[in-house]
Chains A and B, each alone.
Chain A
Amino acid sequence: DGGITQSPKYLFRKEGQNVTLSCEQNLNHDAMYWYRQDPGQGLRLIYYSQIVNDFQKGDIAEGYSVSREKKESFPLTVTSAQKNPTAFYLCASSIRRGSEKLFFGSGTQLSVL
């Protein structure tokens, strides 16, 4: 079955540590996205990528980094510069940027030890 796989489902970060969240899709979609979800708030866009080897900052990119070396993969690194990383992180993809339908992964809950 086609879809988006995020791993791990739960992740813990120590102070000063960088952690990387994985996102893989086999839908052959060009566009991929990372969102952050906090309780009582809508989704906020961290980064997006319209095509391989290209990515753009979203609304809250500070303290995060991404890469898009392969079409299928869009990993997100939460760096030590992100002072409030505890959140639920959602990866999504769409056929292209501006396509009306987003497909979401099942998310990664990141917590700080």
Chain B
Amino acid sequence: AQSVTQPDIHITVSEGASLELRCNYSYGATPYLFWYVQSPGQGLQLLLKYFSGDTLVQGIKGFEAEFKRSQSSFNLRKPSVHWSDAAEYFCAVAAVSDSNYQLIWGAGTKLIIKP
């Protein structure tokens, strides 16, 4: 069965430090992969997506993610975090079969920024 795992429930990073949020997926075919960000009490916003091609994808707000098929991973990175990056981050995989399309979500990682 398809699944998405975000191993870290919380991550604390100092402002200006680098960030990596982990995402592992289980899916038989080539996945469509997404990262979304949710600020407190708000809806989700798409940061970036991977469908095919270059395995390093650039997103908004200075984020990037790298698809590694051999590790079934799609980790999110940012070289230098800002206090405004404090939010919850969700990884998702789109499972596509015939005419069925389903988004499967990870449980989220809460990013805390230390001043």
Contacts and interface: CB of A to CB of B under 8 A. Distances in A.
Interface in B8-56: 9, 32, 34, 36, 41-46, 49, 51
B58 to A, nearest CB: 15
Main secondary structure of the interface of A (DSSP, over half): loop
Interface residues of B, number: 25
- Interface size band for A: 20 to 34
B53 to A, nearest CB: 14
Q: Which of B44, B102, B105 has the most CB of A within 10 A?
A: B44
Contacts, number: 53
Contact of A45 (B43, B45, B49, B103): B103
Contact of A106 (B41, B90, B101): B41
Contacts of A109: 41
A97 B104 CA distance: 14
A100 B107 contact: no
B34 A100 contact: yes
B4 to A, nearest CB: 7
A92 to B, nearest CB: 7
A48 B42 CA distance: 20
Given A98-B96, A102-B46, A107-B41, 9 more contacts: A42-B106, A44-B105, A92-B43, A97-B101, A100-B34, A101-B49, A104-B45, A106-B42, A107-B42
Return the 7 tightest CB-CB contacts between A and B, nearest first.
A104-B43, A42-B105, A98-B101, A43-B105, A104-B44, A42-B107, A106-B43
